[in-house]
Amino acid sequence: MSQKNNMEFNQLTIHELQEKLRDGSLTSVEITESVYRRIASVEEKVHSYITLMEETAIGQAREADRRIKEGNADELTGIPIALKDILCTEGVRTTCGSRILENFIPPYDATVVRKLKDAGAVFVGKTNMDEFAMGSSTETSWFGITKNPWDLERIPGGSSGGSAAAVAADECIASLGTDTGGSIRQPAALCGVVGMKPTYGRVSRFGMVAFASSLDQIGPVTKDVEDCAIMMNVISGHDTGDSTSVPAEIPDYRKFISRDIRGWTVGIPREYFVEGIDPEIKDAVDETIKILEDLGAKCIDISLPHTEYCVAVYYIIAPSEASSNLARYDGVRYGFRATGGEDLLDMYKKTRSSGFGAEVKRRIMLGTYSLSSGYYDAYYKKASQVRALIKSDFDNAFKKCDVILTPTTPTPAFRIGEKVDDPLQMYLCDIFTLSTNLAGIPGISVPCGYTRTDLPIGIQFMAKHFEEGKLLQIASAYEKNSKIERRRPEL
Protein backbone atom coordinates (compact mmCIF):
# COMPACT_ATOMS: atom_id res chain seq x y z
CA MET A 1 0.00 0.00 0.00
CA SER A 2 1.36 3.42 -0.93
CA GLN A 3 2.16 6.12 1.60
CA LYS A 4 -0.77 8.09 0.16
CA ASN A 5 -3.24 5.28 0.92
CA ASN A 6 -1.93 5.05 4.47
CA MET A 7 -2.97 8.64 5.18
CA GLU A 8 -6.29 9.17 6.96
CA PHE A 9 -7.92 11.83 4.79
CA ASN A 10 -11.13 11.58 6.83
CA GLN A 11 -9.36 13.37 9.72
CA LEU A 12 -8.75 16.55 7.71
CA THR A 13 -10.92 19.67 7.63
CA ILE A 14 -12.82 21.00 4.60
CA HIS A 15 -10.26 23.76 3.99
CA GLU A 16 -7.32 21.35 4.27
CA LEU A 17 -8.95 18.99 1.78
CA GLN A 18 -9.86 21.86 -0.57
CA GLU A 19 -6.16 22.62 -1.07
CA LYS A 20 -5.31 18.99 -1.77
CA LEU A 21 -8.21 18.61 -4.22
CA ARG A 22 -7.23 21.83 -5.97
CA ASP A 23 -3.54 20.94 -6.38
CA GLY A 24 -4.40 17.42 -7.56
CA SER A 25 -2.59 15.63 -4.71
CA LEU A 26 -5.87 13.98 -3.67
CA THR A 27 -9.13 12.97 -5.34
CA SER A 28 -12.65 13.07 -3.95
CA VAL A 29 -12.94 9.32 -4.52
CA GLU A 30 -9.88 8.76 -2.26
CA ILE A 31 -11.35 11.00 0.47
CA THR A 32 -14.75 9.30 0.23
CA GLU A 33 -13.20 5.83 0.40
CA SER A 34 -11.21 6.94 3.46
CA VAL A 35 -14.47 8.06 5.15
CA TYR A 36 -16.16 4.71 4.43
CA ARG A 37 -13.13 2.79 5.75
CA ARG A 38 -13.51 4.75 8.98
CA ILE A 39 -17.25 4.02 9.07
CA ALA A 40 -16.55 0.31 8.58
CA SER A 41 -14.17 0.33 11.56
CA VAL A 42 -16.12 2.43 14.13
CA GLU A 43 -19.78 2.79 13.11
CA GLU A 44 -20.80 -0.38 14.94
CA LYS A 45 -19.61 1.24 18.20
CA VAL A 46 -20.91 4.79 17.62
CA HIS A 47 -24.06 4.27 15.52
CA SER A 48 -24.05 7.74 13.94
CA TYR A 49 -26.05 6.78 10.87
CA ILE A 50 -29.53 5.50 10.05
CA THR A 51 -28.90 5.16 6.28
CA LEU A 52 -25.58 5.03 4.42
CA MET A 53 -25.38 6.11 0.75
CA GLU A 54 -22.06 4.58 -0.33
CA GLU A 55 -22.94 3.79 -3.95
CA THR A 56 -24.40 7.28 -4.50
CA ALA A 57 -21.44 8.86 -2.69
CA ILE A 58 -18.81 7.19 -4.88
CA GLY A 59 -20.74 8.34 -7.97
CA GLN A 60 -20.91 11.90 -6.62
CA ALA A 61 -17.17 11.75 -5.81
CA ARG A 62 -16.32 10.73 -9.40
CA GLU A 63 -18.47 13.57 -10.72
CA ALA A 64 -16.73 15.99 -8.28
CA ASP A 65 -13.31 14.88 -9.53
CA ARG A 66 -14.44 15.58 -13.10
CA ARG A 67 -15.66 19.07 -12.07
CA ILE A 68 -12.37 19.83 -10.29
CA LYS A 69 -10.36 18.77 -13.38
CA GLU A 70 -12.46 21.10 -15.53
CA GLY A 71 -11.80 23.98 -13.10
CA ASN A 72 -15.49 24.12 -12.18
CA ALA A 73 -15.17 23.44 -8.43
CA ASP A 74 -17.16 25.09 -5.67
CA GLU A 75 -16.17 25.43 -1.99
CA LEU A 76 -17.64 22.01 -1.12
CA THR A 77 -16.97 20.11 -4.36
CA GLY A 78 -15.79 16.61 -3.49
CA ILE A 79 -16.25 16.96 0.30
CA PRO A 80 -18.09 14.08 2.08
CA ILE A 81 -20.94 15.51 4.17
CA ALA A 82 -23.55 13.79 6.37
CA LEU A 83 -27.19 14.92 6.54
CA LYS A 84 -29.45 14.76 9.58
CA ASP A 85 -32.28 12.36 8.80
CA ILE A 86 -34.88 15.13 9.09
CA LEU A 87 -33.85 16.67 5.74
CA CYS A 88 -35.72 15.38 2.69
CA THR A 89 -33.53 13.60 0.14
CA GLU A 90 -35.07 12.63 -3.19
CA GLY A 91 -35.13 8.85 -3.57
CA VAL A 92 -33.43 8.22 -0.19
CA ARG A 93 -35.50 7.40 2.88
CA THR A 94 -36.01 10.14 5.44
CA THR A 95 -37.18 8.73 8.77
CA CYS A 96 -36.84 11.53 11.37
CA GLY A 97 -35.70 8.72 13.68
CA SER A 98 -39.33 7.52 13.89
CA ARG A 99 -41.14 4.27 13.19
CA ILE A 100 -43.97 6.26 11.61
CA LEU A 101 -41.63 7.35 8.75
CA GLU A 102 -39.51 4.19 8.75
CA ASN A 103 -39.93 3.64 5.00
CA PHE A 104 -40.77 7.16 3.79
CA ILE A 105 -38.92 8.10 0.59
CA PRO A 106 -39.35 11.80 -0.32
CA PRO A 107 -39.96 12.75 -3.97
CA TYR A 108 -37.84 15.92 -3.66
CA ASP A 109 -34.75 17.41 -1.99
CA ALA A 110 -34.74 19.96 0.83
CA THR A 111 -33.36 23.32 -0.33
CA VAL A 112 -30.14 22.87 1.70
CA VAL A 113 -29.66 19.40 0.17
CA ARG A 114 -30.11 20.84 -3.33
CA LYS A 115 -27.62 23.62 -2.55
CA LEU A 116 -25.03 21.10 -1.36
CA LYS A 117 -25.66 18.97 -4.47
CA ASP A 118 -25.23 22.01 -6.73
CA ALA A 119 -21.95 22.76 -4.92
CA GLY A 120 -20.70 19.24 -5.72
CA ALA A 121 -20.73 17.86 -2.16
CA VAL A 122 -20.67 14.09 -1.59
CA PHE A 123 -23.45 12.66 0.62
CA VAL A 124 -22.17 10.04 3.05
CA GLY A 125 -25.54 9.17 4.60
CA LYS A 126 -28.42 10.21 6.87
CA THR A 127 -27.52 10.61 10.55
CA ASN A 128 -29.35 9.31 13.61
CA MET A 129 -31.39 11.72 15.73
CA ASP A 130 -33.94 11.94 18.52
CA GLU A 131 -37.35 11.06 17.10
CA PHE A 132 -38.73 14.09 15.24
CA ALA A 133 -35.85 16.08 16.84
CA MET A 134 -37.54 15.82 20.25
CA GLY A 135 -34.80 15.10 22.74
CA SER A 136 -31.41 16.13 24.10
CA SER A 137 -29.57 12.81 24.00
CA THR A 138 -30.38 10.84 20.79
CA GLU A 139 -31.89 8.16 23.02
CA THR A 140 -35.43 8.51 21.60
CA SER A 141 -34.59 7.29 18.06
CA TRP A 142 -36.59 4.29 16.82
CA PHE A 143 -33.30 3.11 15.25
CA GLY A 144 -31.33 2.86 18.50
CA ILE A 145 -29.02 5.08 20.54
CA THR A 146 -26.02 6.98 19.17
CA LYS A 147 -23.02 6.92 21.51
CA ASN A 148 -20.54 9.66 22.30
CA PRO A 149 -17.22 8.85 20.54
CA TRP A 150 -15.32 10.19 23.60
CA ASP A 151 -17.00 7.70 25.94
CA LEU A 152 -19.28 5.02 24.48
CA GLU A 153 -21.22 4.81 27.74
CA ARG A 154 -22.33 8.44 27.39
CA ILE A 155 -24.82 10.30 25.21
CA PRO A 156 -23.63 12.48 22.29
CA GLY A 157 -26.29 15.12 22.97
CA GLY A 158 -29.35 15.70 20.83
CA SER A 159 -31.33 15.90 18.81
CA SER A 160 -28.53 16.14 16.19
CA GLY A 161 -26.45 13.57 18.10
CA GLY A 162 -25.69 11.49 15.01
CA SER A 163 -24.49 14.56 13.09
CA ALA A 164 -22.13 15.65 15.90
CA ALA A 165 -20.87 12.12 16.67
CA ALA A 166 -20.15 11.47 12.97
CA VAL A 167 -17.97 14.61 12.73
CA ALA A 168 -16.22 13.91 16.05
CA ALA A 169 -15.51 10.28 15.05
CA ASP A 170 -14.22 11.35 11.57
CA GLU A 171 -17.05 9.40 9.91
CA CYS A 172 -17.63 12.41 7.64
CA ILE A 173 -15.85 15.73 7.07
CA ALA A 174 -18.82 17.91 8.13
CA SER A 175 -22.55 17.50 8.63
CA LEU A 176 -25.85 19.33 8.75
CA GLY A 177 -28.05 19.33 11.83
CA THR A 178 -31.15 21.19 12.93
CA ASP A 179 -31.58 23.33 16.03
CA THR A 180 -34.97 23.97 17.65
CA GLY A 181 -33.76 24.56 21.22
CA GLY A 182 -30.05 23.74 21.10
CA SER A 183 -30.05 20.59 18.98
CA ILE A 184 -26.90 21.58 17.02
CA ARG A 185 -24.97 23.48 19.70
CA GLN A 186 -25.53 21.08 22.61
CA PRO A 187 -24.31 17.90 20.82
CA ALA A 188 -21.46 19.89 19.24
CA ALA A 189 -20.32 20.88 22.74
CA LEU A 190 -20.66 17.36 24.13
CA CYS A 191 -18.78 15.82 21.17
CA GLY A 192 -16.00 18.44 20.98
CA VAL A 193 -16.85 19.95 17.57
CA VAL A 194 -18.16 23.30 16.24
CA GLY A 195 -21.91 23.79 15.76
CA MET A 196 -23.81 26.86 14.56
CA LYS A 197 -27.48 27.75 14.77
CA PRO A 198 -28.01 30.54 12.22
CA THR A 199 -30.53 33.39 12.59
CA TYR A 200 -34.12 32.27 12.05
CA GLY A 201 -34.75 32.93 8.35
CA ARG A 202 -31.07 32.85 7.26
CA VAL A 203 -31.18 29.25 5.97
CA SER A 204 -34.22 27.85 4.16
CA ARG A 205 -36.30 25.28 6.05
CA PHE A 206 -38.00 24.02 2.89
CA GLY A 207 -37.79 20.22 2.91
CA MET A 208 -36.91 20.01 6.58
CA VAL A 209 -39.57 17.94 8.36
CA ALA A 210 -41.15 20.42 10.77
CA PHE A 211 -41.05 20.07 14.56
CA ALA A 212 -41.73 23.62 15.85
CA SER A 213 -41.95 25.94 12.86
CA SER A 214 -41.20 29.22 14.63
CA LEU A 215 -38.05 27.79 16.26
CA ASP A 216 -36.51 25.27 13.81
CA GLN A 217 -33.32 26.22 11.98
CA ILE A 218 -30.79 24.22 9.91
CA GLY A 219 -27.07 24.70 10.53
CA PRO A 220 -23.59 23.16 10.16
CA VAL A 221 -21.57 20.88 12.44
CA THR A 222 -17.85 21.02 11.60
CA LYS A 223 -14.32 20.23 12.83
CA ASP A 224 -13.29 23.88 13.10
CA VAL A 225 -14.66 27.41 12.73
CA GLU A 226 -13.38 28.02 9.20
CA ASP A 227 -15.25 24.92 8.01
CA CYS A 228 -18.38 26.35 9.63
CA ALA A 229 -17.94 29.54 7.57
CA ILE A 230 -17.52 27.50 4.36
CA MET A 231 -20.74 25.54 5.07
CA MET A 232 -22.64 28.76 5.86
CA ASN A 233 -21.52 30.25 2.52
CA VAL A 234 -23.21 27.37 0.69
CA ILE A 235 -26.42 26.82 2.68
CA SER A 236 -27.44 30.44 3.46
CA GLY A 237 -29.72 32.57 1.34
CA HIS A 238 -33.28 33.50 0.47
CA ASP A 239 -35.66 30.80 -0.77
CA THR A 240 -39.19 31.46 -2.05
CA GLY A 241 -40.08 27.90 -1.00
CA ASP A 242 -39.89 28.98 2.67
CA SER A 243 -42.17 31.86 3.64
CA THR A 244 -40.00 32.61 6.71
CA SER A 245 -36.79 32.89 4.65
CA VAL A 246 -35.38 36.43 4.76
CA PRO A 247 -34.03 38.11 1.59
CA ALA A 248 -31.00 39.55 3.41
CA GLU A 249 -27.59 39.92 1.78
CA ILE A 250 -25.17 37.03 2.43
CA PRO A 251 -21.56 38.08 3.14
CA ASP A 252 -18.57 35.84 2.38
CA TYR A 253 -18.33 34.27 5.83
CA ARG A 254 -14.73 33.14 5.29
CA LYS A 255 -13.65 36.79 5.33
CA PHE A 256 -14.47 36.93 9.06
CA ILE A 257 -11.95 34.19 9.87
CA SER A 258 -8.67 35.34 11.49
CA ARG A 259 -9.79 38.96 12.03
CA ASP A 260 -8.98 40.40 15.42
CA ILE A 261 -11.53 41.38 18.09
CA ARG A 262 -9.63 44.26 19.68
CA GLY A 263 -12.05 46.80 21.14
CA TRP A 264 -15.03 44.42 21.17
CA THR A 265 -17.31 44.22 24.20
CA VAL A 266 -18.38 40.73 25.31
CA GLY A 267 -21.42 40.42 27.58
CA ILE A 268 -21.45 37.76 30.33
CA PRO A 269 -25.06 37.20 31.52
CA ARG A 270 -25.11 36.57 35.25
CA GLU A 271 -28.30 34.45 34.93
CA TYR A 272 -26.35 31.74 33.06
CA PHE A 273 -24.11 30.94 36.02
CA VAL A 274 -26.76 29.07 37.94
CA GLU A 275 -26.53 26.65 40.81
CA GLY A 276 -25.82 23.19 39.45
CA ILE A 277 -23.40 24.27 36.70
CA ASP A 278 -20.46 21.86 36.65
CA PRO A 279 -17.35 23.48 38.27
CA GLU A 280 -15.11 22.33 35.38
CA ILE A 281 -17.40 24.09 32.90
CA LYS A 282 -17.34 27.25 35.04
CA ASP A 283 -13.50 27.09 35.06
CA ALA A 284 -13.43 26.69 31.26
CA VAL A 285 -15.65 29.77 30.85
CA ASP A 286 -13.39 31.80 33.18
CA GLU A 287 -10.35 30.73 31.14
CA THR A 288 -12.15 31.75 27.91
CA ILE A 289 -12.85 35.21 29.37
CA LYS A 290 -9.12 35.63 30.14
CA ILE A 291 -8.14 34.68 26.58
CA LEU A 292 -10.66 37.13 25.06
CA GLU A 293 -9.36 39.92 27.32
CA ASP A 294 -5.79 39.11 26.24
CA LEU A 295 -7.00 39.56 22.64
CA GLY A 296 -8.18 43.09 23.45
CA ALA A 297 -11.87 42.45 24.13
CA LYS A 298 -13.60 43.90 27.17
CA CYS A 299 -15.82 41.47 29.11
CA ILE A 300 -18.70 43.02 31.06
CA ASP A 301 -21.53 41.71 33.23
CA ILE A 302 -24.96 41.96 31.64
CA SER A 303 -28.44 40.82 32.62
CA LEU A 304 -31.02 38.80 30.68
CA PRO A 305 -33.72 39.02 33.36
CA HIS A 306 -36.31 36.70 31.79
CA THR A 307 -33.87 33.78 31.39
CA GLU A 308 -35.56 31.85 34.22
CA TYR A 309 -38.72 31.54 32.10
CA CYS A 310 -37.01 30.16 28.96
CA VAL A 311 -37.51 26.47 29.73
CA ALA A 312 -41.19 26.93 30.63
CA VAL A 313 -41.88 29.12 27.58
CA TYR A 314 -40.07 26.74 25.24
CA TYR A 315 -41.91 23.67 26.53
CA ILE A 316 -45.25 25.33 25.84
CA ILE A 317 -44.46 26.82 22.40
CA ALA A 318 -42.47 23.90 20.92
CA PRO A 319 -44.97 21.14 21.85
CA SER A 320 -47.90 23.31 20.73
CA GLU A 321 -46.37 23.74 17.29
CA ALA A 322 -45.37 20.06 17.24
CA SER A 323 -48.91 18.91 18.01
CA SER A 324 -50.11 20.88 14.99
CA ASN A 325 -47.25 19.80 12.67
CA LEU A 326 -47.46 16.12 13.60
CA ALA A 327 -51.21 15.88 12.97
CA ARG A 328 -50.34 14.96 9.36
CA TYR A 329 -49.03 11.54 10.43
CA ASP A 330 -52.29 9.63 10.45
CA GLY A 331 -51.55 6.48 8.45
CA VAL A 332 -53.54 7.72 5.47
CA ARG A 333 -51.27 9.69 3.16
CA TYR A 334 -47.77 8.32 3.76
CA GLY A 335 -45.66 6.55 6.35
CA PHE A 336 -46.55 3.71 8.70
CA ARG A 337 -50.15 2.49 9.01
CA ALA A 338 -51.26 0.12 11.79
CA THR A 339 -53.43 -2.83 10.78
CA GLY A 340 -56.57 -4.17 12.44
CA GLY A 341 -58.43 -0.90 12.98
CA GLU A 342 -62.21 -1.31 13.25
CA ASP A 343 -62.91 2.06 11.61
CA LEU A 344 -61.04 5.20 10.48
CA LEU A 345 -60.76 6.70 13.99
CA ASP A 346 -59.51 3.40 15.41
CA MET A 347 -56.88 3.20 12.62
CA TYR A 348 -55.72 6.74 13.48
CA LYS A 349 -55.37 5.81 17.15
CA LYS A 350 -53.54 2.54 16.51
CA THR A 351 -51.19 4.16 13.94
CA ARG A 352 -50.24 7.08 16.16
CA SER A 353 -50.02 4.97 19.34
CA SER A 354 -47.59 2.47 17.84
CA GLY A 355 -45.92 4.79 15.28
CA PHE A 356 -44.76 7.49 17.73
CA GLY A 357 -42.38 6.97 20.65
CA ALA A 358 -43.04 8.02 24.27
CA GLU A 359 -41.34 11.44 24.10
CA VAL A 360 -43.13 12.45 20.89
CA LYS A 361 -46.48 11.39 22.35
CA ARG A 362 -45.72 13.31 25.54
CA ARG A 363 -45.04 16.51 23.58
CA ILE A 364 -48.07 16.10 21.32
CA MET A 365 -50.28 15.79 24.41
CA LEU A 366 -48.63 18.76 26.14
CA GLY A 367 -49.07 20.85 23.00
CA THR A 368 -52.66 19.80 22.33
CA TYR A 369 -53.55 20.65 25.93
CA SER A 370 -51.86 24.09 25.70
CA LEU A 371 -53.79 24.92 22.53
CA SER A 372 -57.14 23.55 23.67
CA SER A 373 -60.20 25.71 24.24
CA GLY A 374 -60.06 27.45 27.61
CA TYR A 375 -56.30 26.92 28.00
CA TYR A 376 -54.89 28.73 24.93
CA ASP A 377 -54.83 32.16 26.65
CA ALA A 378 -53.36 30.79 29.87
CA TYR A 379 -50.58 28.83 28.16
CA TYR A 380 -49.71 29.44 24.49
CA LYS A 381 -50.69 33.11 24.42
CA LYS A 382 -48.94 33.83 27.73
CA ALA A 383 -45.81 31.95 26.59
CA SER A 384 -45.75 33.99 23.36
CA GLN A 385 -45.92 37.22 25.39
CA VAL A 386 -43.01 36.12 27.62
CA ARG A 387 -41.10 35.09 24.48
CA ALA A 388 -41.37 38.71 23.30
CA LEU A 389 -39.85 39.82 26.65
CA ILE A 390 -36.98 37.33 26.21
CA LYS A 391 -36.26 38.77 22.75
CA SER A 392 -36.42 42.28 24.23
CA ASP A 393 -33.80 41.25 26.85
CA PHE A 394 -31.39 40.41 24.03
CA ASP A 395 -32.18 43.62 22.12
CA ASN A 396 -31.30 45.62 25.24
CA ALA A 397 -28.17 43.57 25.97
CA PHE A 398 -26.79 44.08 22.45
CA LYS A 399 -26.94 47.85 22.97
CA LYS A 400 -24.11 47.34 25.47
CA CYS A 401 -22.08 44.54 23.85
CA ASP A 402 -21.09 43.07 20.49
CA VAL A 403 -21.60 39.42 21.42
CA ILE A 404 -22.73 37.41 24.45
CA LEU A 405 -20.69 34.56 25.96
CA THR A 406 -22.19 31.66 27.94
CA PRO A 407 -21.49 27.98 28.61
CA THR A 408 -23.19 25.79 25.98
CA THR A 409 -24.28 23.14 28.49
CA PRO A 410 -24.53 23.04 32.30
CA THR A 411 -22.68 19.67 32.49
CA PRO A 412 -20.51 17.46 30.27
CA ALA A 413 -22.11 14.44 28.53
CA PHE A 414 -24.08 12.28 30.96
CA ARG A 415 -24.38 8.49 30.94
CA ILE A 416 -26.80 6.70 28.63
CA GLY A 417 -30.05 6.01 30.51
CA GLU A 418 -29.25 8.48 33.30
CA LYS A 419 -32.07 10.96 32.52
CA VAL A 420 -34.30 9.08 30.12
CA ASP A 421 -36.97 8.48 32.80
CA ASP A 422 -36.86 12.05 34.10
CA PRO A 423 -38.13 14.36 31.34
CA LEU A 424 -37.66 17.53 33.42
CA GLN A 425 -33.96 16.82 34.05
CA MET A 426 -33.59 16.08 30.33
CA TYR A 427 -35.30 19.38 29.41
CA LEU A 428 -32.94 21.31 31.71
CA CYS A 429 -29.97 20.12 29.61
CA ASP A 430 -30.95 22.82 27.08
CA ILE A 431 -31.21 25.63 29.63
CA PHE A 432 -28.40 27.69 28.02
CA THR A 433 -29.39 27.16 24.38
CA LEU A 434 -33.19 27.60 24.28
CA SER A 435 -33.12 31.40 24.50
CA THR A 436 -31.44 31.90 21.11
CA ASN A 437 -34.23 29.98 19.38
CA LEU A 438 -36.93 31.88 21.27
CA ALA A 439 -35.28 35.19 20.27
CA GLY A 440 -34.44 34.02 16.72
CA ILE A 441 -30.79 35.10 17.04
CA PRO A 442 -27.69 33.13 15.92
CA GLY A 443 -25.48 31.11 18.27
CA ILE A 444 -22.31 29.05 17.91
CA SER A 445 -20.70 26.46 20.17
CA VAL A 446 -16.90 26.06 20.03
CA PRO A 447 -14.75 23.53 21.93
CA CYS A 448 -13.06 25.15 24.94
CA GLY A 449 -11.32 22.29 26.70
CA TYR A 450 -11.83 18.95 28.40
CA THR A 451 -12.83 17.71 31.82
CA ARG A 452 -10.38 15.73 33.96
CA THR A 453 -11.99 12.58 32.51
CA ASP A 454 -11.39 13.76 28.91
CA LEU A 455 -14.96 14.78 28.08
CA PRO A 456 -15.26 17.82 25.76
CA ILE A 457 -16.58 21.19 26.99
CA GLY A 458 -18.15 23.82 24.73
CA ILE A 459 -18.45 27.59 24.96
CA GLN A 460 -21.34 29.49 23.31
CA PHE A 461 -21.32 32.89 21.59
CA MET A 462 -24.53 34.70 20.61
CA ALA A 463 -24.99 37.78 18.41
CA LYS A 464 -27.71 40.03 16.96
CA HIS A 465 -29.96 38.83 14.14
CA PHE A 466 -27.98 38.15 10.92
CA GLU A 467 -24.60 38.73 12.61
CA GLU A 468 -23.25 35.22 12.02
CA GLY A 469 -20.08 36.90 10.70
CA LYS A 470 -19.39 38.38 14.15
CA LEU A 471 -19.84 34.94 15.74
CA LEU A 472 -17.41 33.36 13.28
CA GLN A 473 -14.93 36.20 13.88
CA ILE A 474 -14.84 35.85 17.67
CA ALA A 475 -15.06 32.04 17.56
CA SER A 476 -12.14 31.91 15.12
CA ALA A 477 -10.06 34.39 17.17
CA TYR A 478 -10.73 32.32 20.29
CA GLU A 479 -10.02 29.00 18.54
CA LYS A 480 -6.67 30.20 17.17
CA ASN A 481 -5.50 31.65 20.49
CA SER A 482 -6.92 29.23 23.06
CA LYS A 483 -4.11 26.71 22.44
CA ILE A 484 -6.51 23.87 23.24
CA GLU A 485 -4.89 20.62 22.23
CA ARG A 486 -6.71 19.11 19.26
CA ARG A 487 -7.45 15.60 20.47
CA ARG A 488 -9.31 12.79 18.79
CA PRO A 489 -11.53 10.28 20.55
CA GLU A 490 -9.81 6.92 20.95
CA LEU A 491 -12.31 4.54 19.43
pTM above 0.85, yes or no: yes
Identify the segments of the chain with pLDDT beneath 50: 1-3, 6
Q: pLDDT digits over 29-62, tens only?
A: 999 999 999 999 999 999 999 999 999 999 999 9
Active site residue 34: no
Instruction: Give the active site residue among 98, 137, 141, 159.
Output: 159
Residue 295 CB partners (closer than 8 Å, separation 6+): 260, 261, 262, 477, 478, 481
Instruction: Give the active site residue among 28, 136, 160, 183.
Output: 183
Distances (CA, A) of 297 to 159, 224, 267, 330, 477: 33, 22, 10, 54, 11
- Angle CA(482)–CA(487)–CA(488) in degrees, nearest 5? 145
Instruction: Report the pLDDT value the prediction gives residue 4, as an integer from 0 to 100.
Output: 58
Distances (CA, A) of 438 to 194, 394, 431: 21, 11, 12
Instruction: Report the pLDDT value the prediction gives residue 7, as an integer from 0 to 100.
Output: 64
Instruction: Report the pLDDT value the prediction gives residue 1, as an integer from 0 to 100.
Output: 35
In terms of Cα–Cα distance, which of 195, 191, 157 is closest to 174?
A: 195
CATH code for the part of the protein at 3-256? 3.90.1300.10
Taking the chain, what is the end-to-end CA distance rounded to the nearest angstrom? 23
Residue 384: how many CB atoms within 10 A of its CB? 15
CA distance 119 to 98: 30
Instruction: Report the pLDDT value the prediction gives residue 400, as an integer from 0 to 100.
Output: 98
Active site residue 419: no
What's the chain's Rg over C-alpha atoms?
A: 21
Instruction: Give the active site residue among 28, 84, 98, 482.
Output: 84
Active site residue 69: no
| Three-class secondary structure assignment of 78-136 | CCEEEEECCECECCECCCCCCHHHCCCCCCCCCHHHHHHHHCCCEEEEEECCCHHHCCC
